[in-house]
A and B are shown apart, each in its own frame.
Chain A
Amino acid sequence: MRRIGIDVGGTNTDAVLIEEGKVTGAVKAPTSEDVTTGILDSLRTLGATGVLKESTGALKRIDGVMIGTTHFINAVVQRRHLTKVGALRLGMPASASLPPFCDWPEDLATLVRGSVWMVEGGHEYDGRLFMPLDEAAVTKAAQEMKAAGLKAVAISSIFSPLDPSHERRAAELVTAVIPDAAITCSSDLGRIGLLERENAGLLNAGLADLARETIAAFEKAIRDSGIAAPLFITQNDGTVVEAAQARRLPVYSFASGATNSMRGAAYLSGMQDAMVIDVGGTTTDVGQLRNGFPREANSVVKVGGVRTLFRMPDLLSIGLGGGSHVVLDPLTVGPVSVGYRLLRDGIAFGGAQLTTTDVAVAMGVLDLGDKAKVAHLDRATCLKVFAEAARLAEEAIDRMKTEAGDVPLIAVGGGAFLIPDKMAGVSKVIHVQHGDCANAVGAAIAQVSGECDQIFKDLTRVEAISAAQGIANDRAVAAGASRASLTTIESEDMPLAYLPGNSVRVRVRVVGDVAAG
């Protein structure tokens, strides 16, 4: 197996080649405004190392190119490149007092809200019909969307994770009126919780144009590079989907950068269960690996101020990194950072701002810039700065731990030099080769997942879990996994209070390797 993993970050585009389980090439190139150029540059740089060619000079066969990106979440956070959405909710007369967009920050709602339609439809908790779908009203809404020029449509329906048929039928009816509509059905986005699921659908529809352009840019970059391999996009949960599905569901790729770092850390260290600290230029993310995957946040996750129920890694971010400002008296490190201006503003590079990187240069930990420019920093001062950075990291690690004993810690990212070999609450600190490209490594090794989260009635607990597993397996295979490689990595069941008949909500997640061919 031979894969290229690419991480398109805010500052750098990293690319790695993994062959038969080994990292055989790792490079960095600046991220470009048009995305394509940065990826092409990184692939060219990787090619220049010679690793992409056989000894005969022919290009090696690549099984897949996996790209991770923060593009979509940045669009929401920065309120850029968003498309106006027609919101169609099926569920009247219920929920009328809380229409779509009701809990969005006003500035974001203004950008994304095309218009809102609420019609009769939806299901009960046990799968019974809540109201028959008002097909005439759906068609009328579609005609009004067409008249308003709306092409991105988000459809939500009550209890659609349980029974998506109303959403699917409404999507057909909308497509009949607007054939080129980009439609998001909330049931494709998972969980119980109408507003949060609907919000995810609205964000997804709002990213329709950006997703189409970005994925097209990725495909062009791969094509222009001469590499003939299928393109996969990494998702929040450390797995990948085919480019076509990522184009349809960009919200699933929101938090993939951090996830890829953690997955890469697991891969490079060979550890499945450990804490991971990813020290970047500005921030440090701390998370926990369980079975080689990041522990997922279980509760509501806010994205750009919008409540959602995405599958997201449970991360704690603190303002500590290689570019963090250092003040000596009284001693503080971060949270402000010089960010991508490190090579201009840091003292070792002729700038005026003392940073953690300058201190590392003075200590001889890093061989960067001009050591003479930081010669005024004595060893005792440097040690104090390192101790303060370690204290901040220790606090974050302690907050994310879920067991009382000491745990192993994998340190990755460009700022990993700030993490000492001995830390409170940590059994051992593991620094790995290629740790600064852990995110691209994580992208290269990503798997395919399938999930099921729904309510089962009148089954034993074991039967319900087994039914959920079957659904999750089918979904993973539909997403491109080979059936033989599937394993369950999460299984959670919760009986439903107040409901008779042994109602139980089961959430199962399975992963598998990308199917060949």
Chain B
Amino acid sequence: MSLRDLSIDDIESLALGAWILGTGGGGNPYLPLLNMRALYKEGHRIQLMDAADLADDDWVGTVANMGAPLVGQERLIDSLTLARAVSVMESHIGKRFAALMSMEIGGANGVRPLMAAAHLGRPIVDSDTMARAYPELQMTSVAIGGLSPCPVSIVDVRGFESIVHEVPSWKWAERVARKICTEYGASAATCQPSRTGAEVKQWCIHGTVTKAMTIGAAVREAQRRHDDPIAALLAVEPGKLLFKGKVTDVQRRTSEGWLRGVVRFDGLDGWRGSQMTINFQNEWIVSFRDGEPLAMTPDLICVLNSDTGEAVGSETIRYGQRVTTIALRPPEIFLSPKGLAHVGPRAFGYDLDFRSVFS
């Protein structure tokens, strides 16, 4: 089994790249990054491994924090609590995890598994189940693969521990876990359903930690050299420049617990005179240019600060910001008929046939 040592510089890049892959949601990874800086100062180190190096009967823990990103800005998520969610799961299923993994590489949850791994001394698998961020638990490759949606461990920093032991579907797992999390104060560390090495190899999306680090490193290097960070990103990750513009309007509302809304942009540079809108449900879901569908899920829609290349989130985007919108390629599994049923435009209530910007 080959393990790669991650430097703190790699993790800085991971945080920046994960925020871009968050496609507007998932929360800014700044606080997890601060935790990792502190853990590295204390001497903790993280190792990365390929899924291919897992034995079929190894067990892998999937780590994520659940809750409202805003609560995470006040009740800062503690690294030991994330580690405890993993330990609670291990004692519940009676297995020791060979490695830990992200549920969603996009946003803060792309970095949080490292916080648990630092305390527990386990490697991180270079894979996840979304290759981006999505708002719901059934929007994962493992749900599309029909793998078990339980058990889920849910723990609180004050010592509360819950297990969602048996539910019939991923949607039920989402509903029950969300209720517990809300009672805890809308922030909880979770260990999502455990996976065998064989399941990870067959159903997870591979190389996504490396992808986030590569994207982040390219943008950071361009920032240092005062080059165009977005051109640098597109040089290392196949994608498409969709629109350059300025935010002219932001409408937000919550429904069913999600942040939904529309952002409008007026074109700049080569896009002057043109308008774009993006509809979001935590993440950027569908974009229209001059009324015509432009890009839609599962293609990744990334809205970036035109100057720094860093991601702009749906919770914080504001009037007047100058942004560049790009599309990145989704993993193959989301393009299958079953994949599109889980994460295509209709899964978000848009009566649109998926059409890739890359076709």
A56 interface residue (CB < 8 Å to B): no
Q: Which residues of B contact A399 (CB under 8 A)?
A: 322
Q: How far is the CB of A124 from chain B (nearest CB, A)?
A: 4
The interface size bin for chain B is: 35 or more
The 0/1 profile, CB within 8 Å of B marked 1, for residues 88-132 of chain A is 000101111110001100000000000000000010110010110
Question: Does B315 count as interface, using CB distance less than 8 angstroms?
Answer: yes
Query: Could you say which residues of chain B place their CB within 8 Å of the CB of A504?
Result: 254
Q: What separation, in Å, do the CA atoms of A503 and B78 have in the docked complex?
A: 25
B34 part of interface (Cβ distance < 8 Å): yes
* Complex Cα–Cα for A146 and B258 (A): 48
> Bound state CA distance, A95 and B76, in angstroms?
4
Query: CB within 8 Å of B: which of A146-160?
Result: 158-159
Interface centre among B34, B71, B115, B253 (most CB of A within 10 A): B71
Q: B259 interface residue, CB < 8 Å from A?
A: yes
Contact status B185-A125, CB under 8 Å: yes
| Cross-chain contact B76 with A502 (CB below 8 angstroms) | no
Evaluate contact between B319 and A499: CB separation under 8 angstroms. no
Q: In angstroms, how far is the closest chain B Cβ from the Cβ of A422? A: 21
Q: Does residue B79 face the partner (Cβ distance < 8 Å to A)?
A: yes
Chain A residues contacting B31 (CB-CB under 8 Å) are: 98, 195
Distance in angstroms from A420 CB to nearest chain B CB is 24
Q: How far is the CA of A9 from the CA of B83 in the complex (A)?
A: 52
Asked if A497 and B74 sit within 8 Å, CB to CB, the answer is no
Partner of B74, one of A125, A298, A401, A495: A125
Q: A396-414 vs B: 1/0 string, CB under 8 Å? A: 0001011110000000000
User: What is the CA–CA distance of A210 and B262 in the complex, to the nearest angstrom?
Assistant: 47
Cβ-based interface call for A500 (8 A):
yes
**Are the CB atoms of A495 and B70 closer together than 8 Å?**
no
User: Which residue on A lies nearest to B68, using beta carbons?
Assistant: A498
Task: Please give me the residue from chain B that is nearest to A492 by CB atom.
Answer: B318
Question: Is A368 among interface residues, defined by CB-CB distance under 8 A?
Answer: no
Give the residues from 53 to 85 in chain B that come closer than 8 angstroms, CB to CB, to chain A.
Answer: 67-71, 73-76, 78-80
Report the Cα distance A295→B73, complex, angstroms.
24
A344 to B233, CA, bound (A): 48
The interface residues of chain A lying within 8 Å CB-to-CB of B186 are: 124-125, 498-499
Closest to A99 in B: B38
Instruction: Check: A193 CB closer than 8 A to any chain B CB.
Output: yes
**Which of B38, B73, B80, B259 is A497 in contact with, Cβ under 8 Å?**
B259
Which one of B258, B318, B319 contacts A498 once the chains associate, using CB atoms below 8 Å? Answer: B258
Residues of B within 8 A of A381 (CB): none
A504 to B255, CA, bound (A): 12
**Is B73 within 8 A of A194, CB to CB?**
yes
Instruction: Tell me, in angstroms, the Cα distance from A91 to B80 when the chains sit together.
Output: 16
Q: Find out whether the CB atom of A402 lies under 8 angstroms from the CB atom of B320.
A: yes
Quick one: which of A404-434 are within 8 Å of B by CB? 404
Q: In the assembled complex, which residues on chain B have CB atoms less than 8 Å from the CB atom of A193?
A: 73-74
Bound Cα distance A441, B67 (Å): 48
Q: Are A192 and B316 closer than 8 Å at their CB atoms? A: no
Q: Is A299 an interface residue (CB 8 A)?
A: yes
Closest to A314 in B: B320
A366 within 8 A of partner (CB): no
B78 and A499 form a contact (CB under 8 A): no
- In B230-279, which residues have CB < 8 Å from any A CB? 246, 248, 252-254, 257-259, 266, 272
Name the A residues within 8 Å of B316 (CB-CB). Answer: 298-299
Given contacts A404-B266, A497-B258, A499-B257, contact A91 B73 (CB under 8 A): no
Known contacts A102-B38, A404-B266, A494-B252: does B76 contact A128 (CB below 8 Å)?
no
In the complex, residue of chain A having the shortest beta-carbon distance to the beta carbon of B320 = A402
Chain B residues near A499: list those with CB within 8 A: 68, 71, 182, 186, 254, 257
A496 at the A/B interface (Cβ < 8 Å)?
yes
Note all chain B residues with C-beta closer than 8 A to A402.
246, 248, 319-320
A503 to chain B: closest residue by CB: B254
Q: Is the CB of A497 within 8 A of B158?
A: no
Question: Any chain B CB within 8 A of the CB of A505?
Answer: yes
Residues of A within 8 A of B282 (CB): 497
Most buried by A among B75, B80, B158, B315: B75
Within 8 A of B (CB), among A472-517: 494-500, 502-505
Query: Within 8 Å of chain A (Cβ to Cβ): is B35?
Result: yes
Shortest A400–chain B CB gap in Å is 8
Taking the closest CB of chain A, its distance from the CB of B351, in whole angstroms, is 24
Interface centre among A97, A122, A158, A193 (most CB of B within 10 A): A97
- List B contacts of A122 (CB < 8 A): 75
The closest CB in chain A to the CB of B73 belongs to A193
Contact in complex: B74, A158 (CB < 8 Å): yes
Given the known inter-chain contacts A103-B34, A495-B252, A503-B254, please indicate yes or no for A95 contacting B68, CB distance below 8 A.
no
Q: In whole angstroms, what is the CA distance A439 to B68 when docked?
A: 42
Whether A125 pairs with B79 at a CB distance below 8 angstroms is: no
Complex: how many Å from CA A124 to CA B188? 13
Identify the closest chain B residue to A309 (Cβ).
B73
Tell me the bound Cα distance from A159 to B186 in angstroms. Answer: 13
Q: Which residues of B contact A298 (CB under 8 A)?
A: 316, 318
User: Which residues, 53 to 82 on A, are CB-close (under 8 Å) to B?
Assistant: none
Contact B78–A95 (Cβ < 8 Å): yes
Q: Which residues of B contact A158 (CB under 8 A)?
A: 74-75
A272 vs B80: C-alpha distance when bound (angstroms): 52
Given A91-B75, A159-B74, does the pair A497, B69 have CB atoms closer than 8 Å?
yes
* Distance in Å: Cβ of B115 to nearest Cβ of chain A: 8
Q: How far is the CA of A502 from the CA of B322 in the complex (A)?
A: 31
Q: Which of B76, B257, B322 has the most CB of A within 10 A?
A: B76
List the 6 shortest-distance A-B pairs measured between CB atoms, nearest first.
A495-B254, A402-B320, A497-B259, A95-B76, A498-B68, A124-B185
27 contacts between A and B (CB under 8 A): A96-B80, A97-B38, A97-B115, A98-B35, A122-B75, A124-B185, A124-B186, A125-B185, A130-B75, A131-B158, A158-B75, A295-B320, A402-B319, A494-B252, A494-B315, A496-B68, A496-B254, A496-B259, A497-B254, A497-B257, A497-B259, A497-B315, A499-B68, A499-B71, A499-B257, A500-B257, A505-B70
